[in-house]
Amino acid sequence: MADNPSIEPFIRFGLLPENLPPVINSGSLWQHYEGHKGAYILNKECVGWLSPYDASKRGNQRRSFSISHPAFVYEQAAFYEKNWKDIGPLFARSPGSRSIPNFPKTGPRATRITPHSDLPAIRFRQLSRFKYCLVADVARCFPSIYTHSIPWAIHGKSASKADTKTQSATIFANRLDSALRSAQDRQTMGIPVGPDTSRLTSEIVLSAVDAEFLKDAPAAANAYIRHVDDYWIGAHT
């Protein structure tokens, strides 16, 4: 990845669902947060609620998005800015991913992944040598992510369950878990659909899923493609 994540783009370009009309944006909110200079700002008393937003998506379907209070998105972005040197290398365990993010500094979003329009050519180049292709996706991916599984994906389940302190220096992803739960009335099930911080969080969890998959099928390292929660797996039988 060319750049590391920084807080400002997540507030200015990555807070609201991308399906909103361009005239509605969060660019002016940054002036209220830049004075914190990257420091964490939440404490255990800070609890919020998600605002639902329904919009169209590809294929004439509808999708339910959620808008977080910007303070919680700031906290999540601060987590990534501070800990990227430890988190970035985790994506190497997911060789088939085409949704590992880059971080443009000027928008239109805080994160950038392979566009859908590029996927047919990518699938053809990598999977056309196989007789069969298994196509699958993760049902209700973002709404089904258990927030405690985020530290598990980063530090391992056993270590995370042994140290659940929000400000743990060792299991530092507990802070991200806490920031996500606090944004949604302390609920542990699901992460909001819409903010770019959620896109980055889901990629961490799914890269851990890929790693588990490859433990059982190491030969599939060059025989599968994942784009966010969609999978294509090539096979000869």
Tell me, yes or no, whether 154 lies in a domain.
yes
Q: Establish if 133 belongs to a structural domain.
A: yes
Quick: pLDDT tens for 8-28: 999 999 999 988 888 999 999
Does some domain include residue 148? yes
Cα separation of 100 and 113, whole Å? 6
Is 60 exceeded by the pLDDT of residue 164? yes
CB count within 10 Å of CB 85 equals: 8
Q: Mean of the pLDDT values across residues 31-50?
A: 95
Q: Residue range 54-67: average pLDDT?
A: 82
Query: What is the structure's pLDDT at 159?
Result: 97
Give the type of residue at 176: L
pLDDT, one tens digit per residue, over 73-119 is 999 999 999 999 999 999 999 999 999 999 998 889 999 999 999 99
- The type of residue at 110 is A
- Counting the structural domains of the chain, the total is 1
In 190-229, which positions are buried (b, 16+ CB within 10 angstroms) versus exposed (e)? Answer: bbbbbbbbbbbbbbbbbbbbbeebbeeeeebeebbbbbbb
Of 63-67, 139-143, 157-161, minimum mean pLDDT range? 63-67
Q: What is the pLDDT of residues 186-233, one digit of tens each?
A: 999 999 999 999 999 999 999 999 999 999 999 999 999 999 999 999
Separation of alpha carbons 229 and 143, rounded Å: 12
| Mean of pLDDT over the chain | 95
Report which of 21, 228, 230, 202 is spatially closest to residue 108, judged by C-alpha positions: 21
pLDDT band, residue 1 (cuts 50/70/90): very low
Q: Please give the residue range of the domain that contains residue 201.
A: 7-19+53-235
147 inside domain: yes
Inside any domain, residue 125: yes
- Show the CA angle centred on residue 77, arms to residues 100 and 180, nearest 5°: 95
Q: Binning pLDDT at 50, 70 and 90, where does residue 141 land?
A: very high
Does residue 37 sit within a domain?
no
What band does 139 get if pLDDT is binned at 50, 70 and 90?
very high
Cβ count within 10 A of residue 124: 9
In a domain, 167, yes or no: yes
For tokens 């060792």, name the residue.
Answer: 170
Is 26 part of a structural domain of the chain? no
State how far the Cα of 51 lies from the Cα of 73, in Å rounded to an integer: 13
Residue 2 has pLDDT above 60, yes or no: no
Please tell me the distance from the alpha carbon of residue 210 to that of residue 191, in angstroms, as a whole number: 19
High-pLDDT (> 70) share of the chain, %: 98
Average pLDDT of 168-175?
A: 97
